Amino acid sequence: MTPHLAQVLAKGPLFQQLPPKLCQCLISKAQPRSYGRGAVICLQGEQARTLKLVLDGWVKLYRLSGSGEEAVLATLQAADSFDEVAALQGGISQASAEAVSPCTVLHLDLQAICACERAKEHLQAAVLHMASHHLDGMMAQVEGLKVQTGAQRLTRYLIDLYEAEGGAIEFELPFEKVILAGKLGMKPESLSRAFARLKPVGVSSSHRLVSIRDMSKLRAYAEATAA
């Protein structure tokens, strides 16, 4: 196991639930695959076959409506996983996944249960934990869509990204704005208007580059609009 892989697994909530011996056994049978930007990783409705763990880069999870409209469910980065339940039960993928940057995804076959003691029991408990984790995330996302404006959702996202970037006042969005719009439940033109509303509090953007001149003003805006 490489140091990078060990670091990713240590961060991943799924593998935190599994005994070390079972983790090692699963990883020994896993297949890392590299994808270029725009590559399809899996499609909604296809046999899942494997659990997928993002090792690096960014992945977009989305569903298509009957009319062909795309709904972005999540953007995933290193240590995030998907298709857990379908892979364990031999079911189908409930969403499509696409690489939105060059990325590496580890494919784990949960049907090839190893000889580790209580392997299936441990996997079922870990997958149930992940299903609950995903549900919590979806509930928070739905709540945001119901009670927050587009500018409020963008503000929260920028504050989180600012903190993840170590407090940099200028940083690059991890993916294109059209994907960010989908992630935040907006049309691209609505995202542009949301950025425009944040200009008075010191936020500016050009393509993927974002500048925050005064984080205290942005935080104050977030608190004032949430009240």
- Architecture, CATH, for domain 148-226: Orthogonal Bundle (1.10)
Which range has the worst mean pLDDT, 82-86, 113-117, 194-198?
113-117
Q: What is the distance between the alpha carbons of residues 32 and 105, in angstroms, rounded to a whole number?
A: 6
Q: What is the distance between the alpha carbons of residues 51 and 152, in angstroms, rounded to a whole number?
A: 34
Can you list the pairs that 44-47 forms with residues at least 24 positions away whose Cβ atoms lie under 8 Å?
A: 44/93, 44/94, 44/95, 44/96, 45/92, 45/93, 46/92, 46/93, 47/90, 47/91, 47/92, 47/93
- Architecture, CATH, for domain 3-146: Sandwich (2.60)
Alpha-carbon Rg for the chain in angstroms? 19
Per-residue model confidence (pLDDT) at position 22 = 87
Per-residue model confidence (pLDDT) at position 143 = 85
Q: What is the mean pLDDT of residues 29-51?
A: 94
Place of tokens 């919590």: 136
Q: What is the distance between the alpha carbons of residues 98 and 96, in angstroms, rounded to a whole number?
A: 7
Domain borders along the chain are: 3-146, 148-226
Q: Who's near 148: CB < 8 A, 6+ residues apart?
A: 156
- In this predicted model, what pLDDT tens digit does every residue of 167-189 receive, in sequence order? 888 999 999 999 999 999 999 99
**DSSP bridge pairs for 59:** 76, 99
Per-residue model confidence (pLDDT) at position 5 = 80
Per-residue model confidence (pLDDT) at position 58 = 96
Name the burial class of residue 44, with classes exposed (0-12), middle (13-18) and buried (19+) by CB atoms within 10 angstroms of its CB.
middle
114 pLDDT band (50/70/90 cuts)? low
Per-residue model confidence (pLDDT) at position 118 = 86
227 pLDDT band (50/70/90 cuts)? low
Per-residue model confidence (pLDDT) at position 28 = 86
Q: What is the distance between the alpha carbons of residues 43 and 52, in angstroms, rounded to a whole number?
A: 13
Angle CA(56)–CA(175)–CA(211) in degrees, nearest 5? Answer: 115
Q: What is the mean pLDDT of residues 192-199?
A: 95
Q: What is the mean pLDDT of residues 9-16?
A: 83
Q: What is the distance between the alpha carbons of residues 30 and 180, in angstroms, rounded to a whole number?
A: 31
Residue 207 pLDDT exceeds 70: yes
Max mean pLDDT range (59-68, 91-100, 116-125, 163-172): 91-100
Three-state secondary-structure class, residue 175: coil
Three-state secondary-structure class, residue 34: strand
- In this predicted model, what pLDDT tens digit does every residue of 130-164 receive, in sequence order? 899 888 888 888 888 888 899 999 999 999 999 88
CB atoms closer than 10 angstroms to residue 202? 16
